[in-house]
């Protein structure tokens, strides 16, 4: 599965309002559209930091976390996901 094909079950965020969750999912998917390899994104509320954490996993043991505020602009989220994958 590619990051841009994130199924609804991959969102582990019951503390995130549904409208925000949809915008975050869309932004995470947009950030992963440029890759050819298979990556997965796990979205969860981060109550300790008051925001959202996206754990991105991929080939060859790739595992990175992206943290951002709950009200972060979707374009910023997509760019941070893209930058994280390209590291």
Number of domains in the chain: 1
As a whole number of angstroms, the distance between CA 74 and CA 36 comes to 22
Is pTM beyond 0.75? Reply is: yes
Question: Is the pLDDT at 35 greater than 70, yes or no?
Answer: yes
Confidence of residue 5 (pLDDT cuts 50, 70, 90): low
pLDDT at 27: 93
- What value does the mean pLDDT take over residues 61-83? 94
| Helices assigned H by DSSP within 1-87 | 18-31, 74-86
Q: Which domain holds residue 41?
A: 3-86
């Amino acid at each position: 599965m590619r990051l841009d094909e994130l199924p609804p079950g991959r969102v582990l965020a019951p503390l995130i309002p549904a409208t925000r969750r949809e915008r975050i999912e869309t932004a995470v998917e947009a950030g992963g559209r440029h890759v050819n390899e298979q990556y997965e994104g796990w979205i969860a509320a981060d109550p300790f930091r008051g925001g959202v954490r996206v754990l991105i996993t991929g080939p060859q043991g790739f595992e990175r976390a992206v943290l951002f505020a709950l009200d972060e602009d979707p374009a910023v989220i997509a760019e941070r996901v893209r930058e994280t994958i390209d590291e």
